[in-house]
Copies of this chain bind each other. A is one copy, B any other.
Amino acid sequence: MKITLPSGKIITASAGLSILESLNQAEVYLTASCSGKGTCGKCRIIIKDGKTKSLSRMKLTQEEIEKGFALACRTFPEGDISIDIPKESALTVEGRIATGKSKDLQELLRSMNTEIEPITGRLYMKLPPPTLDDNISDLERLKRALSSEGLGCLRVPFRSLKNLADILRAKDWEITLCTIQSEGCEEVTNILSGDRTTPRYGVAIDIGTTTLVVYLIDLTNGSLIDIASTYNSQIKFGDDVITRIVYATEQNELAAMQNTVISDINMMISLITQKHKINMDTVDSIVIAGNPTMTHLFFGLNPAAIREEPYILTANSFPLSFAGELGINVRPDTPLYSLPSVASYVGGDIVSGVLASGLHKKEELSFFMDIGTNGEMVLGNSELLVTAACSAGPCFEGSGIRHGMRATEGAIEDVKINRSSLKPEIKVIGGVSPMGICGSGMIDAISEMFLAGILDSKGALRKEASDRVREGADGLEFLIHSEGGKEITLTTPDIENIIRAKAAIYAAFTTMIKEVGFTFDDISRVYIAGGFGQFLDIEKAVILGMIPDIPREKFIFLGNSSIKGAYLCTLSQKMRAEAEEIAKRMTYLELSVSRSFMDEFMSGLFIPHTEMNNFPSVKALMES
């Protein structure tokens, strides 16, 4: 059997395989948050021609079914078919990510009061050639020279012996040693002929659940050469970390998942180095930052224990590893350093973010929040660091929301509701026709719907408020936009999802502050990190009751702070030591077993909150 794709390309379909599985085999990937279980309703396709059998039409409206929509994971071809893949179902490779400016980054580095002193070094030496009177072996000659420079403890591992004889003699006993410091001991990672102290580069990688970002950095001056980014292709195994853990464990696909992310990273490194004509031999170091699950999958470590009580990681601080051990296509002996994790859901990305924010060195009390696929928070200053994670829910990334999508082209990112006509005005990323709604659009929409009286404080749609509130497949729903037969709605389950997510974030915030004996007034700064954060409208988020009603000037947007911290660690041993220190200092609050968190969460299931007095500006707005 054959499946004809929109492009005209024809792929083979096998009996017994769903259309989704056949597409995956042909390396055509659809969004499938639930990894093909038929529950997320994301892998919609349109059957243009041919006979199929559908096991389930869940999440599809009668109208959609009539138009030929089907869930690729639940639909099986019964002969040759031809399909269409709606834009919102296809996994594209272009993300909308925080781009780092070289100048800003170098400024950040300077603000940290640190020298450029990369974690990997290059050391040029000229050895005296052997004679009959000085005929010690090559290795002893090298070690003698190192000792005379006070580097006697520099370890030369077995793999560095390979070709040593030839390397020493190739450029008349001039060599360059590549070195790394690890666990208090310096080690040679490679030996090159001649003076090769420049050029040399470092690669910093942010391994997000959804997006991967690579920085190529000049290690001699700290300048950012270029950025590459792509979706994490692991998305085909599920949208959020829990689904990925389940997939790795129950489907026994750990190795495949590791290969997937390594292959994404290789693709980006190769692209970016080729573009700048940079020899792979000059890539001296790799630094990664990711949440614990992403880090485990990257290293090929079984993540099963992360999601089972008592929620245990294989490691917080990872021993030094090498590109060759992981399949990364630079020099096999290029060392890889991973920012340390703190607990099951607080990883190197958060440690990296705190490092970049500098809050851990300041006297003032700060709050750091990174709302990505998950929500992680840190409360602290130079004396105290408390961290917690909550299932902010992947809903802000589009998962579990009927028309939800990530903040890419075609996503509604801004919603205003005309107070008299109650008609929403929308802004779409890329200025195209809307295909769905992203996190910031959801927050806008819900807070506007609340202010306009379409939604009550319990989050229930008021049917009498507008004829845009109507009965849908899942109860009442609100029509945000309709264009050319394509409708974008927020359904009652969507709204419940969003309110649960915002309640969790606010509850984490308040629980942490109470736990250490402070109030909101004690907070001097709120750092908002993450791809979602930077498009957030603070006013709307306060109205929704997602973040506390405190002076707006206290909020600072950091953008992708995870990659920024990784950048700092690539360039500075001091920064790496600080990152390790941050991870060690952090106290983890397990919210899932906290009674106080559950109480706060229940109180937060209102707009903005049960306790209106906590939100004076919203109260004033309501009264005006």
Set B134, B163, B301, B312: member contacting A162, Cβ < 8 A: B301
The docked-state distance in angstroms from the alpha carbon of A299 to that of B158 is 9
Q: Tell me if B315 and A157 are in contact (CB < 8 A).
A: no
* Chain B positions within 8 Å of A341 at CB level: 137
What sequence of 0s and 1s flags, for each residue 149-171 of chain A, a beta carbon within 8 Å of any chain B beta carbon?
00000011111111111100100
Q: Tell me if A161 and B314 are in contact (CB < 8 A).
A: yes
Q: Tell me if B161 and A305 are in contact (CB < 8 A).
A: no
A538 to chain B minimum Cβ distance, whole angstroms, is 35
Residues A590 and B132 in contact in the complex (CB < 8 Å), given A301-B162, A304-B165: yes
A415 to chain B minimum Cβ distance, whole angstroms, is 41
Is A310 in contact with chain B by the CB < 8 A criterion?
Answer: yes
* Chain B positions within 8 Å of A140 at CB level: 315-317
Is A616 in contact with chain B by the CB < 8 A criterion?
Answer: no
Is A135 in contact with chain B by the CB < 8 A criterion?
Answer: yes
Spot the interface stretch: A92-100, A318-326, A484-492: A318-326
What sequence of 0s and 1s flags, for each residue 286-316 of chain A, a beta carbon within 8 Å of any chain B beta carbon?
0000000000000111101100011111111
Q: Tell me if B164 and A314 are in contact (CB < 8 A).
A: yes
* Chain B positions within 8 Å of A623 at CB level: none
Residues A302 and B166 in contact in the complex (CB < 8 Å), given A130-B312, A161-B318: yes
The docked-state distance in angstroms from the alpha carbon of A31 to that of B595 is 83
Q: Tell me if B165 and A131 are in contact (CB < 8 A).
A: no
Within 8 A of B (CB), among A32-82: none
Q: Tell me if B310 and A162 are in contact (CB < 8 A).
A: no
Residues A325 and B590 in contact in the complex (CB < 8 Å), given A137-B313, A140-B315, A314-B164: no
Q: Tell me if B343 and A135 are in contact (CB < 8 A).
A: yes
Set B300, B310, B319: member contacting A157, Cβ < 8 A: B319
The docked-state distance in angstroms from the alpha carbon of A190 to that of B319 is 15
Is A622 in contact with chain B by the CB < 8 A criterion?
Answer: no
* Chain B positions within 8 Å of A162 at CB level: 300-301
Q: Tell me if B158 and A320 are in contact (CB < 8 A).
A: yes
What sequence of 0s and 1s flags, for each residue 325-352 of chain A, a beta carbon within 8 Å of any chain B beta carbon?
1000000000000000101100000000
Residues A135 and B165 in contact in the complex (CB < 8 Å), given A156-B319, A158-B319, A325-B159: no
* Chain B positions within 8 Å of A169 at CB level: 305
* Chain B positions within 8 Å of A300 at CB level: 162
Is A467 in contact with chain B by the CB < 8 A criterion?
Answer: no
Set B130, B164, B322: member contacting A301, Cβ < 8 A: B164
A153 to chain B minimum Cβ distance, whole angstroms, is 10
The docked-state distance in angstroms from the alpha carbon of A139 to that of B319 is 10
Is A264 in contact with chain B by the CB < 8 A criterion?
Answer: no
* Chain B positions within 8 Å of A321 at CB level: 158
Q: Tell me if B310 and A165 are in contact (CB < 8 A).
A: no
In the complex, the chain B residue whose C-beta lies closest to that of A139 is B315
The docked-state distance in angstroms from the alpha carbon of A401 to that of B495 is 96
Is A183 in contact with chain B by the CB < 8 A criterion?
Answer: yes
Is A593 in contact with chain B by the CB < 8 A criterion?
Answer: yes
What sequence of 0s and 1s flags, for each residue 163-181 of chain A, a beta carbon within 8 Å of any chain B beta carbon?
1111001000000000000
The docked-state distance in angstroms from the alpha carbon of A140 to that of B315 is 7
How many chain A residues have a CB neighbour from B under 8 Å? Answer: 51
What sequence of 0s and 1s flags, for each residue 387-413 of chain A, a beta carbon within 8 Å of any chain B beta carbon?
000000000000000000000000000
Set B130, B163, B185, B311: member contacting A302, Cβ < 8 A: B163
A308 to chain B minimum Cβ distance, whole angstroms, is 10
In the complex, the chain B residue whose C-beta lies closest to that of A132 is B310
Is A539 in contact with chain B by the CB < 8 A criterion?
Answer: no
Q: Tell me if A299 and B161 are in contact (CB < 8 A).
A: yes
* Chain B positions within 8 Å of A131 at CB level: 310
* Chain B positions within 8 Å of A130 at CB level: 310, 312
Residues A161 and B315 in contact in the complex (CB < 8 Å), given A155-B183, A343-B135: yes
The docked-state distance in angstroms from the alpha carbon of A139 to that of B136 is 41
* Chain B positions within 8 Å of A117 at CB level: none
Is A138 in contact with chain B by the CB < 8 A criterion?
Answer: yes
* Chain B positions within 8 Å of A317 at CB level: 139-140
Q: Tell me if B312 and A135 are in contact (CB < 8 A).
A: yes
Q: Tell me if B314 and A137 are in contact (CB < 8 A).
A: yes
* Chain B positions within 8 Å of A590 at CB level: 132, 135
In the complex, the chain B residue whose C-beta lies closest to that of A592 is B132
* Chain B positions within 8 Å of A301 at CB level: 161-162, 164-165
A350 to chain B minimum Cβ distance, whole angstroms, is 15
A258 to chain B minimum Cβ distance, whole angstroms, is 11
* Chain B positions within 8 Å of A314 at CB level: 137-139, 161, 164-165
The docked-state distance in angstroms from the alpha carbon of A322 to that of B164 is 18
The docked-state distance in angstroms from the alpha carbon of A64 to that of B27 is 70
Q: Tell me if B165 and A302 are in contact (CB < 8 A).
A: yes
* Chain B positions within 8 Å of A315 at CB level: 137-140, 161, 164
A193 to chain B minimum Cβ distance, whole angstroms, is 14
What sequence of 0s and 1s flags, for each residue 91-135 of chain A, a beta carbon within 8 Å of any chain B beta carbon?
000000000000000000000000000000000000000111011
A168 to chain B minimum Cβ distance, whole angstroms, is 9
Q: Tell me if A319 and B135 are in contact (CB < 8 A).
A: no
* Chain B positions within 8 Å of A155 at CB level: 183, 319
* Chain B positions within 8 Å of A305 at CB level: 138, 165, 169
The docked-state distance in angstroms from the alpha carbon of A163 to that of B183 is 22
The docked-state distance in angstroms from the alpha carbon of A509 to that of B136 is 24
7 smallest CB-CB distances across A and B, nearest first, come from A139-B315, A158-B321, A137-B313, A158-B319, A132-B310, A135-B310, A165-B302
7 residue pairs from A and B, CB less than 8 Å apart: A135-B310, A137-B315, A138-B305, A157-B319, A161-B299, A165-B301, A169-B305
